[in-house]
Amino acid sequence: YGKLYVVATPIGNLADFSFRALEVLKQVDLIAAEDTRHVKMLLSHYGVNKPLTSLHQHNEDKASLGLVERIQQGQSVALVSDAGTPIISDPGLPLVRLARQHGIDVTPIPGACALIAALSVAGLPTSRFSFEGFLPRTASARREFFRDKLSDESTWAFYESSHRIQAALEDMAAVFPAEHRIVVAREITKLHETIADGSLAEVLARVQADENMRKGEFVVIAAGSPPAEKSDQISDAERRILALLLQECS
């Protein structure tokens, strides 16, 4: 059998490609990429010129079968996504699963990941955290999501696009206390990298006031809520949930 390599690529700054990632990409027989045109351009920057095949959200079940067959015939394949670590809010899970089921070696080539980069500078505890991927697209589903997060005592994070960053923070502000601490990490490793840190009200005001703060790619990190006091009294988080539910019922 050949091998399957899961290779991280930069999330903006091209210097973040690892030596090992480039070595592996030069050595494999085939590169499976989310967007082959994008990856072709990226790789030509480093002088890598390899056959590419597309593996995206809409074809990955079928494409994965073909790739596993090729690996069984002795070829080595690298999986890359458009940016960062494959599978993290990106395609590739069916391929990795299928490869494992067939006893194929799956080797990670670690590198950039927007979530981990944002967490590393947020200044919030990371001994326990949760990653929520992209939030639902409608305001009502987002508010429901935020209501569920009110009682989460550990750090949590989500990905957001320029189209929805303001609306997402506004929905969060409709549910969470104004002083809840958040960090918005924008355009990490790129020219306009901004790490906006403060209370929810402060960071939201900054996003509302400055059009540039709504451009690019975002990771939002939120602090955990203070632990509920162990007593018969209801906690602040519970009080807020009750008030919101009552508001919706009336």
150 three-state secondary structure: coil
Give the Cα separation of 122 and 241 in Å (integer). Answer: 27
Q: Considering the complex, state which of residue 162 and residue 233 has its C-beta at the smaller distance from ligand SAM.
A: 162
Query: Which residue's structure tokens are 């890359």?
Result: 80
Query: Of the two residues 60 and 217, which places its CB atom closer to ligand SAM in the complex?
Result: 217
Nearer to ligand SAM, 142 or 240 (CB): 142
Q: How far is the CB of 82 from ligand SAM (least distance, A)?
A: 7
DSSP codes, 56-67 = -TTTHHHHHHHH
Rank residues 203 and 219 by Cβ distance to ligand SAM and give the closer one.
Answer: 219
DSSP letters, 172-200, are HHHHS-TT-EEEEEESTTSTT-EEEEEEH
Contacts of 83 (CB under 8 A, 6+ apart): 9, 10, 11, 12, 112, 114
- CB closer to ligand SAM out of 28 and 80: 80
Q: Which residues bind to ligand SAM, rule: CB under 6 A?
A: 11-12, 81, 83-85, 88-90, 113-115, 159-161, 185, 187-190, 217-219
Whose CB is nearest to ligand SAM? 84
Q: How far is the CB of 238 from ligand SAM (least distance, A)?
A: 31
CA gap 34, 202 in Å, rounded: 37
C-beta of residue 171 within 8 angstroms of C-beta of residue 139: yes
Nearer to ligand SAM, 7 or 188 (CB): 188
Q: How far is the CB of 129 from ligand SAM (least distance, A)?
A: 15
Distance between CA atoms of residues 158 and 135, nearest Å: 7
Shortest distance (Å) from residue 17 CB to ligand SAM: 14
* 6, β-bridge pairs: 79, 108
| CA-CA-CA-CA torsion sign (70, 72, 78, 80) | positive
CB of 194 to ligand SAM, least distance (A): 10
Contacting residues for 101 by C-beta, under 8 A, at least 6 apart = none
Least spacing, CB of residue 95 vs ligand SAM, in Å: 15
Minimum separation from the CB atom of position 207 to ligand SAM (A): 14
